[in-house]
A and B are shown apart, each in its own frame.
Chain A
Amino acid sequence: QSVLTQPPSASGTPGQSVTISCSGSSSNIGGNAANWYQLLPGTAPKLLIYSNNQRPSGVPDRFSGSKSGTSASLAISGLQSADEADYYCAAWDDSLNGPVFGGGTKLTVL
């Protein structure tokens, strides 16, 4: 059982937009920044969004993040087949004194 809650799956067709939600509590997302990771099979997890809405260098602006209260969202516009991956949200948890993750959302590009 993951501390942060994500939908297990999401889907869209090429060119469409999709949003993935992440719900937490006051000890994690409510008081700290949300971050998002992209996991492709056989590769290292990739930081996609940090500090709620910041993109590391090299991440396309098709990826955007937002946070409101104890929830965060990842939006992907102009879906591409290469975006088919697992996406995880994460945040620092003040009670744990460590990072907590969501259960992951499998994105399918139809």
Chain B
Amino acid sequence: QVQLQESGPGLVKPSQTLSLTCTVSGGSINSRSYYWSWIRQPAGKGLEWIGHVYTSGSTNYSPSLKSRATISVDTSKNQLTLKLSSVTAADTAVYHCARNLLGSGKLDVWGQGTTVTVSS
């Protein structure tokens, strides 16, 4: 079955760019039925949708993060990436990638998540 695995630095300095990769295995990221999303959860807080990318490369972002977030897809590697610029301590969170059925709140496959701490 489809599995997702996030990877990237666990520690990022303030003002720098956070960069994470999500590798899709057991299936193709080239599916026309799904968006591929990034969601984060700060400690003690709720889930926050960051944005998503479609296999074509088209994207959509949360308005609160739109100016700093970039999500891209590499179909040859079956990967999606998240870049979040100008990070602050408020960006410290567990970051998940997830498969999102088009036009739905159904995210049926999630990665385990990777913890990113923003600190000098």
List residues of A whose CB falls within 8 A of some B CB.
Answer: 2, 28, 32-35, 37, 39, 43-47, 50-51, 56, 88, 90-92, 96-104
Contact = CB atoms under 8 A, between A and B. Distances in A.
B51 A103 contact: no
B113 A33 contact: no
Interface in B92-114: 96, 98, 100, 103-108, 110-113
Chain B contact-residue range equals: 20 to 34
B46 A56 contact: no
Contact of B103 (A51, A92, A103): A92
A98 B63 CA distance: 11
Given A44-B96, A92-B103, A96-B62, A101 B48 contact: yes
Interface of B: 37, 46-49, 51-52, 60-63, 96, 98, 100, 103-108, 110-113
Q: What secondary structure prevails in chain B residues at the interface with A?
A: strand
Contacts of B61: 98
A91 B110 contact: no
B111 to A, nearest CB: 6
B2 to A, nearest CB: 12
11 contacts: A2-B46, A33-B106, A35-B104, A35-B107, A44-B112, A45-B107, A46-B110, A47-B108, A51-B106, A98-B61, A100-B105
Nearest to A88: B47
Contacts of B49: 98-101
